[in-house]
Structure 1
Amino acid sequence: MTKHPLVPVALTYVAALLVAPRVTVPSVALWVVAAAAALVALALASTRRAPWGTAICVLLSTSALGVLRHKMANEVPTDDISRVSGSSPVACAGVVADPITYRTATAETVVEATHHPREDSQESLSGRVLLVANWRVRARVGDAVWFRAPLKPLAEATNPGQFSEAADRLGDGVRVTAFVPPGALHVGGAQPRRRLERLAESVRQWVSATLLAHTPNPYRDLHAQLMCSILYGMHAAPLPPGIVDAFRRSGTIHLLVVSGTQVAFLVGLLLALSGGLSRWLRLTLIGCALPFYVLLTAHPPSIIRASVVGAMGVAAVLLGKDVDGLNALAFAALVILGTCPADLNSIGLQLSFGACFGILVLTPLFMRFLAFLPRWFALSVAVTCAAQAGVAPLLAYHFGAISLVAPVANLIAIPTAAALLIVGMLTSAAAPLLPAVADRSGALGHCLTSVLVQNATFFSNWPLAVARVAGTGMLWLLAGYGVLTVSLVLDTPPVRRWLSRERVLALTAVVATLTVGWFTYSKLRPRELAVTFLDVGQGDSIVVRSPTGKTVLIDGGSHDRTFRDVGERVIVPYLAEIGVRKLDAILVTHPHEDHVNGLVTVLQQVGADMILDPQQPAAACAAYESFCEEAEQQGAHVEPISRGDSLDLGGGAKLWVLWPPDRPVQGTSDDENNNSAVVEVALGKTSFLLTGDLRAEGERLLLNYGDDLRSTVLKGGHHGGPGTTSDEFLDRVSPKACALSVGRNNPFGHPAAETVARLRRRGVRLYQTALDGAVLCRTDGRRLEVSSFRSRHRPDVLPVGAKARPTDRGNRSDGSDRSGRPD
């Protein structure tokens, strides 16, 4: 602990924050433990006789303080705006706290609540709210605003692979979100307490306008945005999704997320320009410039980390002191997480610290392997590889993918970005006095951004640019950093002396045997059919994956605006989580918004070989029309389906279309829903009956065909609404479990109390996505396990039916199914 004393302290503090939600010890007891351990540590340190005892007491005190800080940070004040959340519109007044961020179809900002206007009084409020609008919001940081909208809790992760907006925003003090329609937001004048943030926003806007004015065509807007992203982050200068995806796949996305690279160049530039000043003036200059740059970038956690470490390094150099990189990194972690424990959930902060850890610890190891290369080139390769190794486990854990081309792509991208940062600053500085110089530097910036884009595009298009890591969990994350730790231990001089050639060969043989054994077990173990009912709020989305890996997505939409684009926020992350590179088919049950409005994004980001569509003659929604247009642009084969069609999923699994009939039903109270596709998916003696939005009239018409509908799992029709899943239907299906896809606090009152009562009277195990999150079913045809994302206990093992699936069920008269093979 003497070489890097702050490292174990920081790790202990982080561990305390992670376990704090499960600690039920009273705060008073924690204060006593922290104080007592600190006093004992001071007493032992004064005697200098028990260094290990001192270290244990320090870590014990740190643990107690970490749990206490977590409890304090998660206490909700009595006047917090989250306490008035609900389905009814709420009037709120506040001040814009963050710059407006424009997404694909929405504008977002954070509003700091001040009061709750009423007819006869004003109730004081605190806390922050994420304000989202699907129209252009004209407001700046520091503007007073008034809006009226329902307040809803931020979306938590309720599906595998889903990003938790609630955990990410908690660091900003945001607990609720408001979706504001046009005309419900009123902007007032600027507030004096936000002058500094407003000044930073004005500078950022002026820099953006200057770069745009001095950047030549073609595509001047894109190149100016990219320069702004290099200067102060992608969140403040959003780029087109295609460009962002190319940078992500090539492993150069970190250049667009402002962090240590920008801080290092800024500090270096300031040190070079202030060479003739005294060290105290240089410290003062950098000490003022760094906080303002943090404000200019809207202070994400990664830039705060970089600024703290950079300030420590500059102070040490100018004062003639040595600085330990790991201690500085640990100190930055303690400062950030001590100020805001919720920042631990920030993916940007995790990646920033992971990259720094890799550079500090792994660079010497890579340098020894690259000793045969020129030192400058070896150092560039070593730093790039070390940074990528430091973040690889985190990338696999959060995104299920690792860029394999990143080390090579960054050799070009990093020096280009460094030059671009200098050119951007020069253009901004020269524009007021020397416009001709600004024009020339802008033209140079255009060339450099072209190099960055071409570099990212070139490497992202390689066939093996990205390695998908399916099912990555905490175990894989720990295993990844465990491998890095073992590598470091093996590189220490004592271990290197112990590792003779024979021992290296023996260790290699053991690792190879374990690897072969694992892959053999993976290949020989029984393969399963997996059916996942995703939690998309008030909507439907089901993913069917066969034992051979064929994947069919059944619907993908949501009525719940909390998810915004449900395809981007839920469906695509889940498909990436399970390793799906392209869907074999997308089946649309019927053209309603809450079943299709996320499918355009799915087609754009994942793609599909085939579209299965009942193609109802009724008028379709705008989202369905957009989906059809995207499918046509991508050249996906669209196959009309009706009763009698089937799809061979491979491995013994099959999908049958039971409804609608060749001639759509007419004259019911809800023809669109009663023509919804009903499919059965089966493997062995386990079957799933998926009824879309079928209502009671459609159920009766389906029963008239006399099919054997007995199924192990039933997906309740029309989100469990009134009049669905009737007694007669349940008698014929006889399910062991039922999944209802519903949104929490939805305006329709789904599921209906009568529907839930009918299911419970029959002893059917009920799962609701609003309560359980995603519902995951796995079966090998003889045994069925059902688990939910929110449940912490073991999966439920349900009995399967005795009905074996006939091989000729659901086939057309021509004897072929949708796989194109004879049945």
Structure 2
Amino acid sequence: MSGKWVFMALAAFTGILLSFELHLISILVLSIIIIRIVHRESFKILIFYFAFVLLFFFASEYTKVTHVSYYKSPAKLQAVVLTFKEYPQIDGNRLKAVAVSPQKEKFMLLYKIPTEGEKDELVRKLRAGTACTVDGKLVWPEANRNEHAFNYEQYLKRMNIHWIFEPGSISTFDCHSSGTSLTATLQNLRALGVQVIENEFPEKLASYASALIFGERSFISEEADHSYKQLGVVHLLAISGLHVGIIVGSVFFLCIWAGMTRETVFWTLFFLLPVYAVLSGGNPPVIRAVIMAILILSANRWRLPLSTLDIFSLSFMLFLLFDPLLIYHIGFQLSFAVSFALTVSSAYFLHQKVHVILQMINISLISMLSSLPILSYHFYEFSLISIAANLLFVPFYTIILLPAVFLLFAISFIKLPFFDFVAGVLDGVVHFSEKVASAAGSMPYSMFLTGKPSALSMIFIVGGILIFFVLRERRIHPLKCALPLILVLTAYSASQKYSPYGEVVFVDVGQGDSILIKLPYNRGVYMIDTGGQLHFPVAEWQERRKPFKVGRDTLLPFLKSKKISRIDKLILTHSDADHIGAADELISELKIGEILISPNSWEKPMMADIVNRAFEEKIKVKEVKAGYGWENKSGSFYFVYPFDDEYEGNDDSLVLHAYFGGLSWLFTGDLEKGGEQEVISAYGKLEIDVLKVGHHGSRGSSSEPFIQMISPEYAVISAGKSNRYGHPHAEVLEILEGENVRTVRTDESGAIHYRFTSKGGTFKTVLPYDSARSP
């Protein structure tokens, strides 16, 4: 089997795909590999291939059968003993941890800490392996409420977690050690190491040291993380095969230098590497690198006939035999895709005769191409400058920063007098590297936006990448090799941008409004409001490191998934935070053609800040009112309100009347009954097919005379799930029902889509099922 284990790894991959994802891609993979084996290999390999396909298929089926919950519906649990499987994460006033019940079922425990004193007590007492007796309730994990958004429910299920447990309180008097396992002990040591770094290192350097030594990335600032993603070098902030390779080489050199025999060095690394895998967070890239390192050491120790590709294949199978659902982990996908590409390409692109700079370029190019489909599928974009960025940042991290933080961590326990000086210098270097990353990442055209590729698009993209590698192996010029992939990406981008289909999306932004209108053939992209959050002052101990932001966490990923990088008109109906609070985040990340606002709404502080920000970015801002509008081949758009220039709040919301997709639309912002009466008086009759209900369904809007005047067939209500205001109010729902208006709500159905052509379209919702579902 020497040199043939790659076929067994492909068999494992195929068997898992057939179990979990029985569709075009899994059938295509199976067919291509069978054709390859029949054409080039022996009948014996084909038999082994089918045997491994069946092995991993049934292993995956067994996983599906065993990954079920003991509980069948939400429930209140009294005096249940939960054991913390991992060291609890305490961020601001939130405690989060995986906890295990007496029935060995895992829960995601989420607890809102009520006081600073209790937070301090929990930080001191809770550890991995601690068991606490608590009362609480089981609640459903939240599924994604917007198309292509992160599906927390699915994410937890793939870790065999079916419930969120919310304790009423956690008293450390009811907590005790449950007999700590080796894994829990190592996790507690990891947390202690992170605390040492926090206490001893300068703040900026501490965030990098925690990430590079222990895999704890939560301290990396939002700005730095974004810059490194733009550069395509964010992998340097996570422990990966590169880090493990440096550690193995360093330990091997030091042990030999200290006079240890190779036999002793082998056994030292054999036991040390799994320990480090746990200490560094146990992420898939680390575990892959550790497994491969142990297999390489074992092959050298016992002279096993295993090639590097065989070792890669065996580590892949061992990983997935332990847990087939890891196939969905993004870190697993990226780690194995890049490693596989580097392994099979090493003979052609990374031979010793090539200059070291050219080798680094080849490594960066291979890494970029092999990760491109995965990044496109999950994040909808990839970096175009990652090759140049890797040439700069990889040497800095591997030669300077990584060894330095390990050395500083070691001497921090000795309290040497020069520690503070060296740490300060290195902190300044890190600050400078962040500025370089930010400047480079903000360069125009540094990212290529792909949107969410379909299965067919993914096949063509992967095909273009494979053609590049095949042609490059034959020593054809790189530009000619890249031509098929460039053509695929160009054709794909054009088909997305100039699609004959348009779409209206009432985005679920919680308690707020945000509506996307995308016309066919790229004739216009408009957004009405951005949603946003009301910010209430909190004590310093309650502040979270990276609090949720509507723009960053909801709107921008959604727009990127739709391959939208430019908004032609951003319409801000009025100055309330739940309508314009995320505008600044969009202005920072997207190209905005112009911003339309209600007359004199800029007198309010939040709108004034947005207008000033727009001026800084040289974005045109227009005050508009009734009578202003525009037309194109796909539709017409006219404002029907307000009539005057005096701004008084909700009743001066911009109200847009539009006709497109075969329907007449009325978008009313937070228009209330007073404004509705003015519209009635001015227009007498407006025939509307779809009404965006004013003020989230508040009883202060949607009066019966107004609904009778516009006679809508459909009404869309944008309101947050379980919002504190009770929107939509029963009176409004009764009026709509009495007028035979078909009503759909974001709080019940998530985002609401209308996909159309010039001939008409169809509605759909992201959550088409009832919330009382089984897990």
Name the TM-score class by shorter chain. 0.7 to 0.9
Is 1:717 aligned to residue 717 of structure 2? no
Letter in 1 for 2:177: Q
- 1:515-538, CA deviations, whole angstroms, 9 ceiling, x for partnerless residues? 998888788x67565321112344
1:733 aligns with 2:719: no
Query: Residue 570 of structure 1 corresponds to which residue in structure 2?
Result: 554
Pairing partner for 1:295 from 268, 278, 296: 278
Q: Could you say what secondary structure the match of 1:679 adopts? A: strand
- Map of 2:460 onto structure 1: 479
Mapped partners of 1:519, 1:71: distance in 2? 41
Match of 1:589 among 573, 576, 597: 573
Alignment of 1:353 with 2:336, yes or no, is yes
Q: 1:625-664 alignment to 2 at 5 Å?
A: 628-629=608-609, 632-633=612-613, 635=615, 643-644=625-626, 646-648=628-630, 653-662=635-644
Counterparts of 2:44 and 2:471, CA distance in 1:
30
Structure 2 distance, partners of 1:408, 1:617, is 45
Tell me how far apart the structure 2 counterparts of residues 291 and 340 of structure 1 sit (CA, whole Å).
17
Counterparts of 1:508 and 1:195 in 2: how far apart (Å)?
A: 52
The question of whether the paired residues in 2 share the 8 Å contact of 1:302 and 1:348 is answered with yes
1:680 to 1:190, Cα distance in 2 relative to 1, 3 A: farther
Q: Secondary structure at the match of 1:687?
A: strand
Contact 1:17 1:70 in 2 (8 A): no
Q: Is 1:4 matched up with 2:6?
A: yes
1:446-473 per-position Cα deviation (integer Å, ceiling 9, x unaligned)? 4653564355234313322111223433
Maintained 8 Å contact 1:161/1:576:
no
The residue type paired with residue 296 of structure 2 is G
C-alpha contact (below 8 Å) 1:358/1:391 kept by paired residues: no
How far off is 1:255 after superposition? 0.7
Alignment of 1:499-648 (within 5 A): 529-546=502-519, 547-557=522-532, 564-592=548-576, 594-606=578-590, 608=592, 611-614=595-598, 628-629=608-609, 632-633=612-613, 635=615, 643-644=625-626, 646-648=628-630
Q: Distance in 2 between matches of 1:124 and 1:595?
A: 45
Contact 1:400 1:576 in 2 (8 A): yes
Code of the residue aligned with 1:422 in structure 2: it is: P
5+ residue gaps in structure 1? 23-47, 116-122, 667-671, 793-823
TM-superposed deviation, 1:172: 4.2
1:110 aligns to 2:110 (yes or no):
no
How many residue pairs are counted as aligned between the two chains? 725
- In the alignment, the residues of structure 2 paired with residue 114 and residue 516 of structure 1 have an alpha-carbon distance, to the nearest angstrom, of 52
Q: Matches of 2:230 and 2:240 in 1, distance apart?
A: 19
The 2-side partners of 1:614 and 1:509 are apart by 49
Q: Does 1:252 align with 2:252?
A: no
How do 1:252-331 residues align onto structure 2 when only pairs under 5 Å count?
A: 252-275=233-256, 276-331=259-314
Change in Cα spacing, 1:513 to 1:330, as seen in structure 2 (3 Å) is closer
The residue type equivalent to 1:312 in the other structure is L
Structure number with greater CO (CA < 8 Å, separation at least 6) is: 2
Moved more, 409-418 or 162-171: 162-171
Amino acid at match of 1:786: F
**Can you list the C-alpha shifts for 1:387-437, whole angstroms capped at 9, x where unaligned?**
111111111121121111111111221222123222222222233347146
Q: Which moved more, 1:390-399 or 1:650-659?
A: 650-659
Equivalent residue for 1:412, pick from 387, 392, 396: 392
Q: CA 1:542 to 1:776, structure 2 compared with 1: closer, same or farther past 3 Å?
A: same
Asked whether the 8 Å contact 1:230–1:417 carries over to 2, the reply is no
Matched residue SS, 2:61: helix
* Cα offset, 1:65, TM superposition: 2.8
Partner deviation per Cα, 1:199-228 (whole Å, 9 max, x = no partner)? 54564455456556776xxxx321232232
1:800-815 correspondence runs (5 A): none
CA distance, structure 2, for counterparts of residue 259 and residue 366 of structure 1 = 22
Counterparts of 2:111 and 2:638 in 1: how far apart (Å)? 44
| TM-score normalised by the chain length of structure 2 | 0.79
Specify the alignment match of 2:380 in structure 1. 400
Contact 1:538–1:744 (Cα < 8 Å) also in 2: yes
Q: For 2:244 and 2:192, locate their aligned partners in 1 and report how far apart those are by CA, in whole Å.
A: 20
Partner of 1:389: 369
Secondary structure of the corresponding residue to residue 303 of structure 2: coil
- 1:170: which partner in 2? 157
Q: Provide the C-alpha distance between the structure 2 equivalents of 1:477 and 1:229, rounded to a whole number of angstroms.
A: 32
Q: What aligned pairs does 1:76-155 form with structure 2 within 5 A after superposition?
A: 76-78=69-71, 83-84=74-75, 94-99=82-87, 101=89, 107=94, 109-112=96-99, 114=101, 127-131=107-111, 137-138=119-120, 139=123, 140-142=126-128, 152-155=139-142
Distance 1:7 1:201 in 2: 31
Structure 2, unaligned stretches of length 5 or more?
25-41, 537-546, 770-775
Deviations along 1:548-585, whole A, 9 cap, x unmatched?
34432423136999x94332221111122233335445
The answer to whether the aligner puts 1:681 opposite 2:658 as a matched pair is: yes
1:724 is displaced (CA, Å) by 5.7
Q: 1:176 to 1:518 in 2, by over 3 A?
A: closer
Distance 1:721 1:749 in 2: 8
CA distance in 2 between counterparts of 1:213 and 1:113 reads: 31
For each residue in 1:327-386, what CA deviation from the matched residue of structure 2 results, as whole angstroms up to 9, or x when unmatched?
444443444444444433322222222221222233444448xx9x73433322222211
Q: What is the root-mean-square deviation of aligned Cα atoms in Å?
A: 4.6
Aligned 8 A contact 1:156 1:164 in 2:
yes
Distance (whole Å) between structure 2 residues aligned to residue 483 and residue 704 of structure 1: 61
How far residue 715 of structure 1 moved from its aligned partner, in angstroms, is 1.8
Contact 1:537 1:560 (8 Å CA) reproduced = no
Q: 1:101 to 1:409 in 2, by over 3 A?
A: farther
Decide whether the 8 Å contact of 2:8 with 2:49 is kept in 1: no
Deviation at 1:697, TM superposition (A): 5.8
Read off the aligned partner of 2:147 and give its amino acid letter.
P
1:301 Cα offset (Å): 2.8
Partners in 2 of 1:178 and 1:110 — Cα distance?
Answer: 10
Shift in CA distance, 168/247, structure 1 to aligned 2, threshold 3 Å: same
1:814 equivalent in structure 2 = none
Provide the rounded CA distance (Å) in 2 between the counterparts of 1:519 and 1:617: 38
Q: For 2:529, what is the secondary structure of its paired residue?
A: strand
**Partner Cα separation in structure 2 for residue 199 and residue 317 of structure 1:** 32
Shift of 1:658: 2.7
* Aligned partners of 2:380 and 2:563 also within 8 Å: yes
Q: Per the alignment, in what secondary structure is the counterpart of residue 539 of structure 1?
A: coil
In structure 2, the CA distance between the partners of 1:738 and 1:167, relative to structure 1 (3 Å rule), is same
Q: Contact 2:651/2:671 (CA < 8 Å) preserved in 1?
A: yes
Task: Decide whether the 8 Å contact of 2:584 with 2:613 is kept in 1.
Answer: no
Select which of 382, 401, 405 maps to 1:424.
Answer: 405
TM-score (structure 1 length as normaliser): 0.75
**Pairing partner for 1:228 from 190, 193, 210:** 210
Per-residue deviation at 1:170? Answer: 3.4
Partner amino acid, structure 2, of 1:83: P
Q: Could you tell me how far apart the structure 2 residues matched to 1:718 and 1:109 are?
A: 35
Identity within the alignment, %: 19
Q: Which residue identity lines up with residue 4 of structure 1 in the other structure?
A: V
Question: Matches of 1:134 and 1:576 in 2, distance apart?
Answer: 37
